[in-house]
Amino acid sequence: MFITRRGRSIKNSTDLKSFINGNMLPKAQLHPLIAKKVWPTFVQGAYDTAVFQAFKEVEVGVRTKGNFDAADIGVNEKGI
């Protein structure tokens, strides 16, 4: 057995916690834009903030793709 480069970089309990948190959700499974915006917050353990930021990015993406205005919310009169 040997200690990897990543293993050598863990010097204290904070480093270990960051490593463990970072492996709970593999970054490669996230959309690149969400990973870029949310990953640092996630690995710091601020999960509620990371989830909020991720949902905000999804909301912005849907609005952009659907050509919706920021004031467009809910459904129209027909329920659509």
Domain residue ranges in the chain: 27-69
pLDDT tens per residue across all 80 residues of the chain = 998 988 888 899 888 887 887 778 888 999 999 999 998 898 888 889 999 999 999 999 999 999 988 888 777 777 66
Q: Give the model's pLDDT for residue 73.
A: 78
What residues have CB less than 8 Å from 57, skipping those under 6 apart? 31, 33, 34, 37, 38
Q: pTM higher than 0.75, yes or no?
A: no
| 11 DSSP 8-state letter | -
A 10 A CB-CB count for 54 gives 20
CA proximity to 55, closest of 80, 26, 31: 31
